[in-house]
Copies of this chain bind each other. A is one copy, B any other.
Amino acid sequence: MDLRALIFDVFGTVVDWRGGIIREGAELSAARPGLELDWPAFADAWRGRYPPSMNRVRTGEQPWTNLDALHRASLDELLAEFGVAATVGEDDRRRLVTAWHRLDPWPDSVAGLTRLKRRYTIAPLSNGNVALLVNMAKRAGLPWDLVLSAELVRHYKPDPETYLSAPRLLGLEPGQVMMVAAHLDDLVAARAHGLRTGYVLRPDEWGPGGEAPRPRAHDELDLVVNSLTDLADHLGA
């Protein structure tokens, strides 16, 4: 492999979205007596709205809308469904949308990325919008060389335009770029467009009792690793 750049899925791969949304929700409940909500269930439901909301953009049913705006629309729907629409006002809704900017990294993420950056160009390639990814990186200390996002090409993964934007903008061949993700569908799509693939097992993504990822054989994926420091070990960084 003449590998030059690593691009990373973010939600679940680099940061713990579920734990972060639960933490921010609990903080909001503590500040708003009367706001009682099952935040773990709410986090899962909110995340559940994400693929269908993106698909409406991907199919052209809805014009380009960035992830903050998709998150806001699905938040408004879910607060009504959970019966707390009257309790959560405009300021709190804005605070919850930007909770996705304040997710904590997995314990190995900063150390792994810092090592990988010495040898490779590193960037997120996320469906998150640029501002979300920048705010997250500054808060969490994610040392990206640059920020790549679906927003830059106005196509959500798994559209080909998103994956192909990385080698194009970096001046590389697809085979010189590795997509790193905790989700096989992301990797299968990246591989179809010639990118290398690194699968990170994140058994805690969906919380205790959540669905655990299945390790896969190496003939489907270039690498299967347990963490980003493990990835650095495998890649000599």
Contacts and interface: CB of A to CB of B under 8 A. Distances in A.
Contacts of A227: none
B146 A134 contact: yes
A130 B130 CA distance: 15
Chain A's interface size range is 10 to 19
A169 B121 contact: no
Interface string A156-189: 0000000000000111100000000000000000
Interface string A127-158: 00111011001100000111100011000000
A153 to B, nearest CB: 9
Contact of A131 (B129, B131, B169): B169
Contacts of A68: 171
Contact of A171 (B129, B137, B146, B172): B129
Contacts of A133: 146
Given A145-B137, A145-B138, A146-B147, A171 B121 contact: no
A151 B169 contact: yes
A170 B151 CA distance: 11
A181 to B, nearest CB: 20
Interface in A43-85: 68
A171 B98 CA distance: 11
Contact of A130 (B131, B137, B146, B151): B146
